Amino acid sequence: MQNIHNFIADMDWNELPVTVQTMSKRCLLDTIGVAIAAQTTLAARIASRFATIQFGPSNNSRSRLLGFDGTCSVPGAAFSGAILIDSLDAHDGHRLTKGHAGATVLPSLLAMVDYLSNEKTTISGKYFLELLVIGYEVSLRTGIELHKSTEEYHTSGAWAPIGVAAMGAKLLQLNQSQLSHALGIAEYYAPRSPMMRCIDQPTMVKDGAGWGALAGISSVYMAQEGFTGAPALSVTLADEKDYFLRYELLNQYFKPWPICRWAQPAVEAVVTLQKQFSFDIKDIKEIKISTFHHAVRLANKQPTSSDEAQYSIGYPVAAMLAKGKIGAEEMNENSLNDPVIRQLQDKVKLKENQSHTDAFPAKRFADVAITLQNGDILETENIEARGDVENPLSNEDIQTKFNQLTKGIITTSKQNKLIKLIKNLDKEDNVKDLLDLIMGKPS
């Protein structure tokens, strides 16, 4: 455990590799963009109302909500913010954890920092980013270990709380004993949600980010009060001697579209075919998708909710063919009955490709073959989605995605302010300006 203690205690922004510094800002901008766009989802609105009613503020625990007006306790604000981000599947992720640290880590950090800021504690941009790196790095390492320890695939809410506990313990200056207990409490109480249940039957529960944030934040404050829970076994297993020598954070991927990452290779394949061939979607007879097992589980049911659309493979493929784009608008309930998209989706056929299954999760491939009415077959094989480490989205791509997701929700002026502020956040003496731009009005 001493290695992780040293990692947390010795974290210094100025000593981090430039690549890590840059990646932390990329993650921050991307996730905030998703949070802004997700304000329109029903799940986010329900969670914000629930948090303000059931997790009311007190003199010692008070935070504004991310994306919504209102005030509640710090754990409640983290819970609401995590469900907000999790409700639109556009946030960054990590292949080996098969999940997303940022959807739990960032809203938890924002809630804790907002409370301290209101208590006249100054948090610099450098310190904020240091904490963010800790949250991501510990989450990702423990997530990898958790997946090694069990055959059942659990949501990110099962491991991201441990990163929240590490980050929160640093922020609240817990001693080594309290830190160990915070990590153990977070691991013990983190929700071991069965991810594939939500893949087979998509609902608002998604990736467990909300309850993960609640568990992670609560573990910090409980440990501060003397509650015990050590050891955290996944932390011990992941407690390698290469902290500061390598960073799982650098293995983050970024999504071009707000859908499950498993569906994105098939969409990328369709984009490839659209660029290579000139064809009219009216001439399409059949769309065959051959991909890995978990992606096939997304299935081709006609979606009746945004959650079903995001956890589908047939719907986004059809939407890309019909609209030439997939944004938050295409995931909105108002778009789900589009007759052209529905007709195209009816032509989708799914098949598992064993070689692609064997390559998962390190690689995620899809083959797509489009048969036209005249018998021509347009096909492409072994396609991976853009955004992985080997084929990353550029900083300009992420900025464009941010602007597209937030268009019509915030002004162009506010978009530009956020982009500039995050780019130079390490030069800011206080993160209050960032908080004021993304947190709602207090109640």
The answer to whether residue 239 is domain-embedded is: yes
Give yes or no: residues 206 and 137 share one domain: yes
- β partners of residue 66: 439
Give yes or no: residues 123 and 159 share one domain: yes
Taking the C-alpha atoms of residue 322 and residue 442, their distance in angstroms, rounded to an integer, is: 42
Burial of 173 (0-12, 13-18, 19+ CB in 10 A): exposed
For residue 404, what are the contacts with CB-CB under 8 A and spacing of at least 6?
327
Can you spell out the DSSP letters for 119-182? TT----HHHHHHHHHHHHHHHHHHHHHHHHH-SS-B-GGGTHHHHHHHHHHHHTT--HHHHHHH
The answer to whether residue 318 is domain-embedded is: yes
With the CA atoms of 429, 433, 436 and 439 taken in that order, what torsion angle do they form, in degrees rounded to the nearest 10? -70
Give yes or no: residues 422 and 330 share one domain: no
The domain boundary, picked from 347, 365, 383, lies at: 383
**Overall pTM surpassing 0.95 (yes/no):** yes
Domains: count for the chain: 2
Taking the C-alpha atoms of residue 354 and residue 372, their distance in angstroms, rounded to an integer, is: 26
Give yes or no: residues 240 and 366 share one domain: no
> Which CATH number characterizes residue 291's domain?
3.30.1330.120
Taking the C-alpha atoms of residue 367 and residue 355, their distance in angstroms, rounded to an integer, is: 11
The answer to whether residue 177 is domain-embedded is: yes
- Structure token digits, residue 214: 């609640």
pLDDT at 282: 97
Residue 228 DSSP symbol: -
The answer to whether residue 319 is domain-embedded is: yes
Give yes or no: residues 281 and 374 share one domain: yes
The domain boundary, picked from 353, 383, 413, lies at: 383
pLDDT at 2: 73
The domain boundary, picked from 344, 363, 383, lies at: 383
pLDDT at 107: 99
Give yes or no: residues 266 and 327 share one domain: yes
The answer to whether residue 388 is domain-embedded is: no
pLDDT average per 10 residues of sequence, the chain (443 residues): 89 98 99 98 98 97 98 99 99 96 99 96 98 98 92 94 98 98 98 95 97 98 98 82 92 98 98 96 98 96 96 98 95 93 98 98 97 98 97 98 97 98 98 98 93
116 touches 123 (CB < 8 A):
yes
> Which CATH number characterizes residue 163's domain?
1.10.4100.10
Q: Which domain holds residue 331?
A: 261-383
The answer to whether residue 310 is domain-embedded is: yes
- Give the DSSP H/E element, type plus range, for residue 380: strand 377-383
345 touches 315 (CB < 8 A):
yes
The answer to whether residue 443 is domain-embedded is: no
pLDDT at 1: 67
Give yes or no: residues 162 and 248 share one domain: yes
pLDDT at 239: 67
Give yes or no: residues 147 and 250 share one domain: yes
- β partners of residue 154: 194
Give yes or no: residues 168 and 123 share one domain: yes
pLDDT at 238: 76
The answer to whether residue 339 is domain-embedded is: yes
How many other CB atoms are found less than 10 A from the CB of residue 441?
Answer: 11
pLDDT at 15: 97
Collect contacts of 433-438 with beta carbons under 8 A, ≥24 apart: 434/125, 434/128, 435/64, 435/110, 435/113, 435/114, 435/117, 438/32, 438/35, 438/36, 438/66, 438/67, 438/110
Fill in the amino acid letter for 289: I
Residue 93, classed as helix, strand or coil, is strand
Give yes or no: residues 231 and 290 share one domain: no
Give yes or no: residues 211 and 295 share one domain: no
Give yes or no: residues 13 and 122 share one domain: yes
pLDDT at 285: 98
